[in-house]
Amino acid sequence: MRVEVTIERTKKLPDGAMSALESELSKRLNDEFSGCKLTVRRAATDSLSVMGGDKDQKKAVETILQETWESADDWFY
């Protein structure tokens, strides 16, 4: 499965946030889906793409992304 997360480029993020998010999200996704490939990049809009997964797997990825984003105070600083 391949997962691509894009974050709107006009959003202000702290230095190192992109690489920290990619690292933490990759760890969490690989705990759930072995061999999952993740790309996190800046783009015109926020989006999440899950390729090679079914509807239940996409919902699980959405949940993992939401939990990761909400717990940024725990893993970013």
Domain range for residue 17?
Answer: 2-75
* pLDDT tens per residue, range 6-52: 999 999 999 999 999 999 999 999 999 999 999 999 999 999 999 99
Mean pLDDT value of segment 57-70: 95
**What pLDDT does residue 73 have?**
87
**What pLDDT does residue 76 have?**
86
Q: What total number of domains does the chain contain?
A: 1
Instruction: Tell me the CATH number at 58.
Output: 3.30.910.10
Q: Cβ(42)–Cβ(13) under 8 Å?
A: no
User: Bigger pLDDT: 75 or 61?
Assistant: 61
What whole-number distance in Å separates Cα of residue 21 and Cα of residue 40? 8
* HEC profile of the chain: CEEEEEEECCCCCCCCHHHHHHHHHHHHHHHHCCCCEEEEEEECCCEEEEECCCHHHHHHHHHHHHHHHHCHHHHCC
